[in-house]
Every structure is written in structure tokens, then in C-alpha cells.
Structure 1
């Protein structure tokens, strides 16, 4: 047993060393940078210890960005899960063209971010866009509204756009989980007279839960670090209403010329994400053991 573990470690060691080199060194560099007072890239800085951490933790902008990051992650997770689950359940059925649908649904995910931003900025525009006239025509609104004009409307619009882009990828992962559920279970449930809702709650949902758990962890980590869509559409506005932690880090480093302070925010965000990943993964492992 010990010998097999030794050989397993030997074979995994090169990959672990490469992972440490790729991830560990930049993280260590960020930690060292956060303990100095470097203002711009390439400049020298003095050692200031934990002064940057005290400054960041006492800054209201950091806590506001942290709160907006939580709102962003939770809203994206909820909307993406609902859309992806609905799409996966539809694509798991047998109907003409299902293979084509399974292929084409991924298109929104592979479209470049800049193209996505250009399309949705035009669609949501108050002058010439298609969304406002459509909403007016069906009677939901009586005059054009600015989707990016207020804090919460801008955040909701960004969540919708980001979820629209990412839910097909999650749907395909869910579809892979659905295809692993034995069809005999559904057939037995139909014979016993179980309704569609009961088949979903008693068979589909419990057996799909492990896949959903992994997707929640990965989706949370990916959503938390989204920068491009937010920056290209709102740049953190209006009035800081969409300034999540990645936006705050960028502005602090490259617009405020406080590189060490930005590194401090990045380190704190990394610790938060690692803690979430650790406890979430541990929770999934415990649930797997109970099953």
C-alpha cells in the first residue's frame, strides 16, 4: 500500500511542481508586493509590512466592491443554473435536430467577448437598439429606459449578458451528467405512475446534484474573476454600481498608480476564493461519502 502511494506521488510530482511554479510564484510575488509601497510597475518600494492591509480593510471602497462581487456571483450562479438546467433538460430529450441543437447552443460561449459586448450594447441602446422598442410594443414599458443608467439596472443587465454567454457551457456539463443517469430508473418510475415532477425531484435532481455541486464551485470562481464584460460595458459605473473587486484592483493599480495596494486587494480576494473552494470541495466530499 505504501509502495503504491509512493509511486503515485512520483508520477504526480512533476505536475504538482509545475502547478506550484505557475501559480505559487505569482501569488508569492503578489504577497511580497502587498508588503511594500510600490506605486508603478518597475519602480522600487520600501517595506511597509501590514500597512497596506490596514489601509485596504479600513477603506469603504473595498467593502463595497466585495459586496458587489458577492451580489454578482450569487446572481450569476442563480440565473446560469436555471437557464443551463432548463436547456440541458430540453437537449436531453429525443426530437428531430437535437444533435444540431447541442452543437449550436455552444456558439454564445465561443463568441469573443468584444463581439458580445458590441452586440448587447447596441441591443440595449436607448437610440436605435431593439430591446426598448420590443418592450414598448408588448406593453411592458411606455417609454425607453436606460439599462445602464442606474446602479442596479446596470448590474442586472450585466448579470443577464454574462449569464447568456456562459449558460450554454454549463448546460453541456449538465447534459453530460443527465446522460449518465440510467434510463431504466425513469422507465420504472413511469410504470409506478410517478409524474414528471416526481421523476425530476426523486431521480434527476438527486443524481445530478454532484455535477451541480462541481459546477457551482467552478462557476463561482469564474464569475468572481470576470473583468472584461464589466469593464467594456460600464467600467465599474454608474457611480461605482458595478465596481467589483477585479475592477477595483485594475483601477487601483493602473489608474490610481497604487500597485502595492492593488496587490493587497488581490491577495485578500485570493484568500477568500481559496477558502470558498476549500470548504465547498470538502462539503462535496462529505456528501459523496454519505452517499
Structure 2
């Protein structure tokens, strides 16, 4: 017994020693920038300054008193949950469809996954041209079939700008959801479906009782990843609208950029970034709660 415990302790020590370099590198790459940003948020730092006078939590007080922050926060939630919800629903539906056997399934999978392979900058600039109110093909198509009789201001209207960037974001990243869910669908034992059919289960009952419990942990994990990436997404919105019109698409990352590189208030920009990190941590905690519940039910 003592020999087994000693061997187990030795194995654990060896495992910790093997993981120590990677853990130290991860801590260095993630921890040092975070601490640096927090220190910057406690100072009055301007353009060209490496540090400034220590002002405590004044920048954080400014953040919570600034109306632009709450506008950006609301826009961020609309952008994140709007795009992630549509990506997850569309990805799940297409994954279920592509998991079935039909002619040219391989070609269909390639077409569905194609948007994810296009570089983001290329995709965004292409969509920006397509949504142009004068020369864009989207307006031309809508007017040709009679849906509208005048060009729509997709990127220059407060009512349509956020819808436009969400649409582009969904088009660009829903294939990631398809890949993740299609992988777990192909690992479900087919014997369970055959037994369910023998018992007279309908297609919906098979989905609810067999498919959904298998898919749910991966579904929630994919939603978690897409939430993190969308929350920090910058280039799609910035390249399409720059945060406009009239702050209609200004999200928290856009606001950080504008405060730092337009207003040259790096301390306040850092404070917004730290608050954004705190909000994201709360969202992660909620997601992990639901992931644990889904895994416990499996």
C-alpha cells in the first residue's frame, strides 16, 4: 500500500513537473498583459506616455458614469447574443441535414464550410461593397424582385446597421458550429436510433431523447467559444461601420479603440477593457454552470 502511494505521488510530481513550463508560459502570456492593463487603468495615461500619475479608481468611476459605455454595452449584448443565437440555430440545423445521406453530400458540406475559409478582411470588404446603398448587389436584387422600391441604407441607418453586421458575422462563422456539431453527430451509436425505431419513436422523439443529449455538451461549449470570440470581435464591425452611424454599432472593443486611438485616453480605455473582462468572466461562469448540468444529465 505504501509503495503504491509513493508511486502515485511520484507520478503526480512528474506530471506537475511536465506541465510546469507550459503553465508558466501561459501565465506569462496571459497574466502579464492583464496586470499591465490594470495598472494602466489606475493611471492618467495619454498618447506617447508609458505611465502617468496614479489616480486610483477614477477611470473606473468614469466608466460607470459614462453614457457611451452603457450604449456600447447594450450594442455588445445585441451583437453577441444576436449573432451567436443565429449561428447556433443555423449551425445545428445544417449539421443535422448534412449528417444524413443524400446525393452530393460532400459538395454540400464544402459549400457550407466555404465562408469559414475566406479571410475575414476579404469577406467583410466584399459584404460592404455588396451592401452599398447605391451600387450594392443586395439592393439591386431586392429592388428587382419588388421587395423594396428604393435602396436600403444597410450600413448608414441606425435601424439596419446592427442587423447588417450580425448578418455578416453569422454568414462568416456559422460553419464553425456546423463542424463542431457534425463531428459529435457522427459519433452517436446508430444502434440507439435503430432500437428507438423498433420501439416506435418518431423522428422528433429520437432527436429529443437521443440526439439532443449527445449534442448538448458540445453545443454549449461551442456557444461558449463563439460568445468569447464575438464579445472580443473587432474587425467585422470596425471595417463595416466603424461603430456608426451615431454609435449604433459601437461595441465595447470599438469603444476601447476609440478612447485609446481617437481620444488618446489610454487609462480610460484600459478601464473599459478591464470592465469588459469582468463582464465576460460572469458570462463564462453562467455558461460553465449550464455545461456542467448538461454533462451531468448525459
Q: Choose from 65, 68, 73 the match for 1:66.
A: 73
Contact 1:76 1:159 in 2 (8 A): yes
Q: Choose from 212, 220, 227 the match for 1:213.
A: 220
Contact 1:79 1:163 in 2 (8 A): yes
**Alignment partners' CA distance in 1, 2:52 and 2:290:** 42
Taking a change above 3 Å as real, the CA distance of residues 239 and 97 of structure 1, as seen in their structure-2 partners, is same
SS in 1 for 2:211: helix
Matches within 5 A, 1:117-132: 117-132=124-139
Q: Following TM superposition, by how much is the alpha carbon of 1:37 offset from its aligned partner in structure 2, in angstroms? A: 0.4
Report the counterpart of residue 155 of structure 2 in structure 1: 148
Taking a change above 3 Å as real, the CA distance of residues 152 and 141 of structure 1, as seen in their structure-2 partners, is same
**Alignment partners' CA distance in 1, 2:213 and 2:205:** 11
| TM-superposition CA deviations, 1:184-206 (whole Å, max 9, x none) | 12222222232222222222122
* Residue-pair matches, total: 291
**Alignment partners' CA distance in 1, 2:271 and 2:194:** 56
| TM-superposition CA deviations, 1:198-244 (whole Å, max 9, x none) | 22222212211001110111110001111001001100000000000
| TM-superposition CA deviations, 1:15-45 (whole Å, max 9, x none) | 1111100000000000000000001144441
Note the residue ranges of structure 2 that are not aligned, 5 or more in a row.
none
1:202 aligns with 2:244: no
The farther-off stretch of 83-92 and 39-48 is 39-48
1:180 aligns with 2:181: no
What RMSD in Å do the two structures reach over aligned CA positions?
Answer: 1.7
Note the residue ranges of structure 1 that are not aligned, 5 or more in a row.
none
**Alignment partners' CA distance in 1, 2:40 and 2:261:** 15
| TM-superposition CA deviations, 1:76-100 (whole Å, max 9, x none) | 1111011111221121111233233
Contact 1:73 1:224 in 2 (8 A): yes
TM-score w.r.t. structure 1 length?
0.94
